[in-house]
Structure 1
Amino acid sequence: MTAIQPTTPLSTATVLGEVADRRRQQDATFGEQNHPDGTGPDVELTGVLRRAADAAYTARFTTELARAEGRLTWLHILREEVYEALAEAAPAELRDELLDVAATAVVWIEAIDRRGAAS
């Protein structure tokens, strides 16, 4: 009996390949980059004029409100994920939130590609 292995949809694999290509371009342009995280609940976000923790809370609230009202957009979803990441100070939690940011960006790209295929 053969075990069924979960597979990555072709669209996801294609986008992840493009992300890998972009990463290679970044390395070629900038070399290896090692910067401080610069995150945490008390970090002030430029243009938002509030602490990251407050911005994350507001983003979660507006996303849930938009969902409840049937007007949810990718902007709501990605903004929430980004602000949640910016509010994290602990490396393990920050890493987890950044995975959410990356996954959300990939699924949004896939949605754009589906729209293009349907046009």
Structure 2
Amino acid sequence: MSYPALFTTPGMRDFAEAVDAERQRQIAKFGDQHHPIIRGPHSTVLFQDLAEGLRRTNDDPAQRCWMTILLEEVYEAGAEGNLAKFREEVVQVAAVCQAIITDLDRQAQRPGDPS
């Protein structure tokens, strides 16, 4: 499926189309799902601790990688008790995912580059 050119970020259109196709597969397989956003206050404390640990890791350029960046964003979302702020954090997760996909696509175009 092709969409009008609404995006200005390189790779965003391909990313959005891939996400849309995957969501259609998920809906076909599982239907329209509804789950709690998070369960209990103990979960937010756990996510706060995990996010803090990854923040320290990501402060060190020698340790930082896409997975630690992504997980930090996911844990920050899980630590958020306010649903509007949780939504903002999930948008940040999606933005990091788009950056990862774009970087993967660039790496695939440069054979011989180390991963």
Per the normalisation by structure 1, the TM-score is: 0.79
- 1:36 aligned partner, one-letter code: P
Deviates more, 1:53-62 or 1:95-104: 53-62
Aligned residue in 2 for 1:31: 31
Question: Any idea what SS the aligned residue of 2:42 has?
Answer: coil
State how many pairs are aligned: 106
Work out whether 1:19 is the aligned partner of 2:14.
no
1:50-106 deviation digits (Å, cap 9, x = unpaired): 711111111111111x23xx4421112111101101111111011000001111011
Aligned residue in 1 for 2:58: 63
CA RMSD, 1 decimal = 2.1
Q: Percent identity?
A: 34
Deviates more, 1:95-104 or 1:9-18: 9-18
Gaps of 5+ in 1: 1-5, 45-49
2-structure distance, mates of 1:53, 1:10: 32
Per the normalisation by structure 2, the TM-score is: 0.81
Stretches (4+) displaced over 2 A: 39-42
Aligned residue in 1 for 2:49: 54
Quote the offset at 1:39 in angstroms. 5.5
